[in-house]
A = this chain, B = another copy of it.
């Protein structure tokens, strides 16, 4: 095929450019499984700009893609074969992609080695996990000393329509004009729109140090590859640590319409905000949708109020249309956070104070067994229920777009979710809405990966 580059050798730019001999050796020696992960994530990064969300298609088209480390006393080198031609300009790798390739090396191979072999990280308890997340972020350079609070995390679906995409871009533009930085989960749709918009806003304000932070994890990067505009990229080990990174780094969170993944994120956040220990901690949260398509949040709001009570709705504000207003509220939220952090002598860059229930920190493996075991009943306390719903949505996302989930579904058929009739019906309504609105998948007809019963 003509759209592959047969061979290229690249050197590190910002990450990994000063390794010891031992560190290079340990990179070389890494476990085959880690190397497989690295190869997949690298391919995702090199495939940036593709409009596809099917990781299998990508892997199949680039079966002959290989990426190998070549250590040299001067520093490590990556030798890339049969990579997507779109990552190169006249035979030279695009700088933004080259940076990200070494970010992936840093976060997958290096950090993972660190994790496993030397036992540096202690993931056995809540504190240890929060500590590890912080250190991964610091190692990636995405938490930096002396930064004034300014980061708005944007969530939302990758499978959204043009109207919603343009709206997210407009909100991003208005944020950029107000000097706000943007962090998202990488990928296209509601993750790309705000960044592109913000970039134009920053340019008009002649701001040359705008941050476009991509926070991802190995399971999702293949279907949501980072845009090369992302100038700070970090890959957390799993979904839960990625979610923790989002909420501890955020000075404000905007949710755009999405699908099950977005619902998962909202459940996760509500699970934290509703925790009594977090009562006094400011985490501004805005749900924003275009004026013409308010249903996503109308439905979600209804679902939340119905399952968790009206009290749960006081943690967010819903805005339709008015991109300027969304940006204005974000700016105000960021200011409130700054004042609160200063008052409480809390770090500006990482919200240590926020309590995250340990049940939400531990990885949820979307096996059929685990999915079936989720208690989705009203007699479970609200904060547990919301955590379980988070897991349920998480599993559905996996079944839709993640290699592990897709594999599970292929082998064992749809996940079986059980619970109270009322809750299951509400969930069913919500999910059917997502399906009929095309929010589950980018292309082709959607076959549900789950069955609900009560």
Residues of chain A touching chain B, judged by Cβ–Cβ distance below 8 Å, are: 17-18, 20-23, 72-75, 89-90, 94-97, 99, 118-120, 127-128, 130-131, 134-135, 138, 143-146, 174, 177-178, 199-200, 203-209, 228-229, 231, 328, 344-349, 352-353
Q: Are B209 and A347 in contact (CB-based, < 8 A)?
A: no
Bound form: Cα–Cα A346–B99 in Å: 23
Residue pair B328, A90 in contact (C-beta under 8 Å): yes
Contact A352–B73 (Cβ < 8 Å): yes
Please tell me which one of the listed residues B73, B144, B228 contacts residue A204 in the complex, with CB atoms under 8 A apart: B228
Q: Is the CB of A73 within 8 A of B206?
A: no
**In the complex where A21-B352, A138-B18 touch, is A74 in contact with B347 (Cβ < 8 A)?**
yes
Q: Give 23 A-B contacts (CB < 8 Å), ordered by A residue.
A: A17-B145, A18-B145, A20-B134, A21-B352, A22-B127, A73-B345, A73-B346, A73-B347, A74-B348, A89-B177, A90-B178, A94-B205, A95-B204, A95-B205, A95-B206, A97-B204, A99-B206, A199-B200, A200-B229, A204-B228, A204-B229, A206-B231, A208-B208
Q: Give Cα A118–Cα B345 distance, bound, in whole angstroms.
A: 30
The residue on B at minimum CB distance from A143 is B18
Other A-B pairs beyond A94-B204, A96-B203, A96-B205, 10, CB < 8 Å:
A21-B131, A21-B134, A21-B352, A74-B345, A74-B348, A75-B145, A89-B177, A89-B178, A94-B177, A95-B205
Give the Cβ gap from A357 to chain B, nearest Cβ, in Å.
18
A121 to chain B, nearest CB (A): 10
Docked-complex contact B21 and A72, CB < 8 angstroms? no
- A143 vs B34: C-alpha distance when bound (angstroms): 29
Inter-chain contacts of A127 with B (CB < 8 A): 21-22
Counted per complex, copies of this chain come to: 4
A204 B96 Cβ-Cβ under 8 A: yes
Name the residue among A89, A199, A345, A349 with the largest chain B CB count within 10 angstroms: A89
Q: How far is the CB of A19 from chain B (nearest CB, A)?
A: 9
B118–A17 contact, CB under 8 A?
no
Query: CB-CB < 8 A to A353: which residues of B?
Result: 73
Q: Which of B17, B118, B207, B208 is A146 in contact with, Cβ under 8 Å?
A: B17
Q: List the B side residues contacting A348 at CB < 8 Å.
A: 74
Closest to A147 in B: B18
Which B residues touch A119, using CB under 8 A?
118
Query: In whole angstroms, what is the CA distance A146 to B75 when docked?
Result: 10
A113 to chain B, nearest CB (A): 12
Q: Are B135 and A20 in contact (CB under 8 A)?
A: yes
CA distance A353 to B21 in the complex (A): 11
> Which residues on B sit within 8 Å (CB–CB) of A177?
89, 94
Q: Check if B96 sits within 8 Å of A206, measured CB to CB.
A: yes
Docked Cα-Cα span, A379 to B146, in Å, equals 62
* Distance between A131 CB and nearest chain B CB, rounded to angstroms: 4
Please measure, in the bound complex, the distance between the C-alpha atom of A97 and the C-alpha atom of B89, giving whole angstroms.
33
CB proximity of A23 to chain B, nearest CB, Å: 8
Please state if B22 and A131 are interface contacts (CB–CB under 8 Å). yes
Closest 4 CB pairs of A and B: A204-B228, A17-B145, A22-B131, A95-B205
Q: Within the assembled complex, what's the spacing in Å between the Cα atoms of A348 and B73?
A: 9
Residues in B with CB closer than 8 Å to A352 are 21, 73
